[in-house]
Structure 1
Amino acid sequence: MDDARPAPSLDAAATTDPERERLMAVLRRVADPEIGESIVDLGLVDSLVLGPASVALRLIPTSATCPMADVLIEDAETALRQACPPDWTVEVEMDWDAVWTPQRMSTALRLRLGWA
């Protein structure tokens, strides 16, 4: 059975919530340290959930042995903490059970990298 999950419709959801849209824009500036591309465009953002004075981000690795997972988590958490009010709770985790595929990448990035 294929465990791959399609990329969530982040852009569609973002248009309905200005705060979520703002935080997604912040995450678009976080680059994967190995590839140098946005974690959003790479499809590494599995979910971004806002609650009362909190934000929870779940990332997925590009491989089961992603050597830069700790850096990705730290960079995303730092970006969110800088963008959120100081009293907000910020949680970032890596979902090691999720399977990343190139289809999770934005269309523009797939085209640019020749994966379309």
Structure 2
Amino acid sequence: MTHQNHSSGSEARVLDALRQVVDPELGVNIVDLGLVYGTEIRDGVVHVKMTMTTPACPMEELLMEMVHSAILGEIRDARSVEVDLVWEPQWKPDMMSEAAKSQLGR
């Protein structure tokens, strides 16, 4: 899910915007946590495929709001955001970036 319409933007711009979304419980952004599985921009609609650290994550609603706000605030040509919340593959700590692992003392 990394296809892009170059007139609308790029995956790198979306990931940069999503790095502003910090999990309030862990203090690490959702990209470095490995929660973002893919992005796509098509006709001004930014699609994000992501997961949570657990299916019962108490921060799910807040994180979804933060994702929408970050993208709409940073991607000028984004008209809307669609988040596809998935549970497969299940998130595991080894999906974190080295920076996130270091930040969390792993």
TM-score w.r.t. structure 1 length?
Answer: 0.75
CA contact (8 A) 2:72 2:78 kept: no
Q: How does 1:25-104 map to 2 (within 5 A)?
A: 25-85=16-76, 88-104=79-95
Task: Work out the CA distance in 2 between the residues paired with 1:101 and 1:33.
Answer: 18
CA contact (8 A) 1:28 1:38 kept: yes
Partner of 2:47, secondary structure, is: strand
Is the helix fraction higher in 1 or 2?
A: 1
| Structure 2 unaligned spans of 5+ | none
CA contact (8 A) 2:44 2:78 kept: yes
Give deviations 1:23-60, integer Å, cap 9, x for gaps: 21111111011111110000111111111211101220
Identity %: 33
Task: Work out the CA distance in 2 between the residues paired with 1:87 and 1:112.
Answer: 31
TM-score w.r.t. structure 2 length?
Answer: 0.81
AA matched with 1:54: V
| Structure 1 unaligned spans of 5+ | 1-7
Q: How many residues align?
A: 102
Task: Work out the CA distance in 1 between the residues paired with 2:77 and 2:13.
Answer: 16
